[in-house]
A = this chain, B = another copy of it.
Amino acid sequence: MERADAARNRAALLAAATDLIRERGIDAVSIDDVAASAGVGKGTVFRRFGDKAGLIQAVVDSTAASWHQAASLEFRTAGEFAGQLFDHVLASLPLVIAVERTSVRSCEGNFQLTVDRLARVVGSTFNAHALLAVLRGEQIAFLLDQGMTADEIRAGVISLADTLSAGV
């Protein structure tokens, strides 16, 4: 059982980390920032979450009932999958980028599952990875930065998914 003060600190840290990452991006957020913003000592962060990656993972887990849904979602067509994942990524871009930079993709567990299911729809494991590569936070942020609109990217992603499915 977690002590009451510990639970309070965990919640404060998660909230602080989520806000800071959302507004500044992971690169501009240090652990000290998060600790100070949550009003706790630095040691507390590491006792709760182990390391920076653990904190980010916890943030991600906490901010989304929809998170694991988005990755392991049931879908009929590749286009449907692409559209839904895109919306999810776009809505939490800084968080997605943070987790991409800190965790190893293959460790996600249901990531493999998603790849396999997707592979069946788009014809090959390679194509599944290709589609997921285009849906990465950093890729989408880059395209937005290049001046593409979210709608254009969304349409492109779905079109790509459909094209890949069509070849099956």
Mark contacts of A134-168 with chain B using CB atoms, 8 A cut-off: 1 yes-contact digit, 0 otherwise. 10100100110110100011011101100110010
Q: Is A126 an interface residue (CB 8 A)?
A: yes
Please report the total number of A residues contacting B with Cβ < 8 Å.
Answer: 27
Q: Is A125 an interface residue (CB 8 A)?
A: yes
Copies in the complex: 2
A139 to B127, CA, bound (A): 12
Contact of A160 among B127, B143, B155 (CB under 8 A): B127
Q: Is the CB of A152 within 8 A of B126?
A: yes
Known contacts being A163-B163, A163-B164, is A126 close to B106, with CB within 8 Å? no
Q: Which 6 A-B pairs have the closest CB atoms?
A: A126-B156, A130-B134, A133-B133, A133-B139, A133-B134, A163-B167
